[in-house]
A and B are shown apart, each in its own frame.
Chain A
Amino acid sequence: MSDELQKPDEEPVDHQDSALVRFLRATEVDTRMLGMIGALLLIWVGFHYYGLIFNDFGAFLTPRNLWNLSVQTSSIAVMATGMVLVIVTRHIDLSAGSLLGVTAMIMGVIQVWILPKYLGLDHPMIWVITVIVGILFGAMIGAFHGFLIAYLGIPAFIVTLGGLLIWRGSAWWVARGETIAPVDSTFALIGGGPYGTIGSTGSWIFGILACIGIIALLISGRRQRIRFRFPLRPMWAEWLIGVVGSALVIGTVMVMNAYPWPKGIIKRHLAANNMEMPEGGLFISHGFAIPVLVAISVGIFMTFLTTRTRFGRYVFAIGGNPEAAELAGINTKRMTMMIFALMGALVGISAVIASARLNSATNALGQLDELYVIAAAVIGGTSFAGGIGTIYGAMLGALVMQSLQSGMVLVGFDSAVQQIVVGCVLVLAVWLDTLYRKKSA
């Protein structure tokens, strides 16, 4: 609890503020983020106890469910990071789900029908080429949407509404409605599943690296502030953030590692390696699934892009005041095209995850995803008025949406009720957000 390092020019503490306000100011924690974490915990605990009371079994707060939840969230979370930029610049993308569908179909055709002919089945390059083609295809279509919006002046709503129909139709045309399965075996790992994980040791290494990352960020942030004589966070707040952050990471690693491979898979695995089942069974941890790592990487990359680069700065400037951005010499048309191209590339990544997880490409893949993606971004604090939104918020928003969805499935709500609840939550969340903004403005 040492305050010696505080600079004398720091704002005087107003003693009339409550302890909570002072705490929030010292730690510089976003109150909106706290609210979202609170909502998330409420959903998790709520569904768990609902299950416990009405079904005699609380299925939500189990390693198995939380692991599944992490995998299910990945695809939406990846797209939501791109949707933030689209909505921040006052546009919308309604075509994400359809674009995901057609991209998955094209990747399916490439890896199942075309590449094996030339490279042979299970060639190690098949998944690489497929993923690259998928991401490039998504980026191309996105850039095309962006071109229509920026250079021809067609509203994004209309362009992507057209895209919603066109790409869903195209997804059918790619293979005349056939389902393409199974996908390349390496490609399938990107979707998760027992083999598509990094195991216990890998997860611990990942977790420790993440903790080191958190501490390094805190230290470099503090050094920068000292260098430029900016007000510092009190030392106890730095420690608190470091400890809580690391504890969250380690807790997540432990949960992911607590979910073992199912017995059947372990038997098959042992049989394939000519090994005997040891006495008392074998516990093989899942650990982090590959799609989760993909989503986290995308999240880190997108956070870096939005907060540390010119591109990100311009995105927010355009969202705040398009005319001012133009007058400041920003090529807003080119930016719009690049933002949609980026969105398309992210849809490509999500298409990889979604089709790999399903181990097949179907023309219905990604249906209604655009709505979940938009909902995730908006629940995560992205404002339709433009200029406001965060990547971590959208990813948390995706987790909230997916938690609701999976929770309702677990406790046995039928799909009609699920839709009604999701719809209500979305409207409610935006209303609360409006109140929050009015109050904080």
Chain B
Amino acid sequence: MVENNSSSAPLVEMSDISIAFGGIKAVDHACVDLFPGEVVGLLGHNGAGKSTLIKILSGAYLRDTGEIKVNGQVAQITNPRDAKAYGIETIYQTLALADNLDAAANLFLGRELRTRWGTLDDSAMESEARKVMGRLNPRFEKFKDPVKALSGGQRQSVAIARAILFNARILIMDEPTAALGPEETAQVAELILQLKKDGIGIFLISHDIEDVFELADRVIVMKNGQIVGAAKTSDVTKDEVLGMIIAGKCPEAATPGPGAIKI
């Protein structure tokens, strides 16, 4: 969609993706792409289809039509395990934590470390958890408690830690700062910049247009399941992007999609 963004091949290419729930087209022939080391902000109202589109990439929903390519290769993503095998990690808006388990158990859920006898290696997992949490949230100490007992910010850092623990190449962040205070939000921003440097591609879904302008290289706006348009954040103003979100009006500097209103 955006030419000459990078000389390398796109990390992710989702083309012509559609999914309908009971006759309602939640995502309607959407095309998005993501390059290594790039942060793409995905914007739109509630119900615009952002989360649904991203859940197709993370394997939580099975698309009706369309194709997903990872590193130029067609990817078969039919469930969350497949997506993880392609290095796609997701931080869900709901955090998707099992409240009754402790932080380490949540971090390694579905990918537990095991001893040579095939049993769970809880000590090793807790030790790894201490390392990664130390990097994200140095004051985090409640490793033995179920995550239910943690604060909103602590829970969020557990969800983020889970996504970066397994060397993700593609990171999906659905409202990652929704539950955070200003200080923790700044920490997440710092983390995003650091991950970007490591060449990880990030889809950032957010309501907060300020956040997106600060962090994203590109924005893609959705409305009623369709792509309104895509633009480099340096080429458009916040007001223009707001116009895309609210009215579906695509500014000149942006590449229009099927959802843009015809003038």
Q: Which A residues are within 8 Å of any B CB, using their own CB?
A: 224-225, 227-228, 230, 304, 307-310, 313, 316-317, 319-321, 323-330, 387-388, 441
Contacts and interface: CB of A to CB of B under 8 A. Distances in A.
Contacts of A230: 123, 126
Interface string B111-122: 110100011100
A317 B105 contact: yes
Interface in B208-246: none
Contacts of A326: 60, 80
Given A228-B126, A320-B101, A324-B94, 10 more contacts: A308-B120, A310-B112, A316-B100, A324-B109, A327-B80, A329-B80, A329-B110, A330-B109, A387-B99, A441-B148
Contacts of A310: 112, 114, 120
Contact of B120 (A309, A317, A441): A309
B81 A329 contact: yes
A89 B27 CA distance: 33
B77 to A, nearest CB: 12
B119 A309 contact: yes
B119 A313 contact: no
A316 B101 contact: yes
A398 to B, nearest CB: 23
B98 A320 contact: yes
Contact of A324 (B81, B98, B112, B118): B98
Contacts of A328: 80, 96, 109-110
Contacts of A307: 120
Interface of B: 58, 60, 79-81, 84, 90, 92, 94-101, 105, 109-112, 114, 118-120, 123-124, 126-127, 148
Nearest to B114: A310
Nearest to B120: A308
Indicate the member of A225, A228, A307, A313 with the most B CB atoms within 10 Å: A313
Contact of B96 (A225, A313, A319, A321): A321
B45 to A, nearest CB: 23
A313 B101 CA distance: 9
A324 B97 contact: yes
Contacts of A387: 98-100
Nearest to B84: A329
A305 B43 CA distance: 45
Contacts of A327: 58, 60, 80, 90, 92, 96
A354 B196 CA distance: 64
Contacts of B84: 329
Nearest to A327: B96
Contact of B98 (A225, A227, A325): A325
B119 A224 contact: no
Contacts of B119: 304, 308-309
A149 to B, nearest CB: 20
B126 A330 contact: no
Contacts of A304: 119
B139 to A, nearest CB: 14
30 contacts: A225-B123, A228-B126, A228-B127, A230-B123, A309-B119, A309-B120, A310-B114, A310-B120, A313-B101, A313-B112, A317-B101, A317-B109, A320-B99, A320-B100, A320-B101, A321-B98, A324-B96, A324-B97, A327-B58, A327-B60, A327-B90, A327-B92, A327-B96, A328-B96, A329-B79, A329-B81, A329-B111, A387-B98, A387-B99, A388-B100
A299 B239 CA distance: 65
Contacts of A325: 98, 109-110
Nearest to A221: B123
Nearest to B117: A308
A250 B143 CA distance: 36
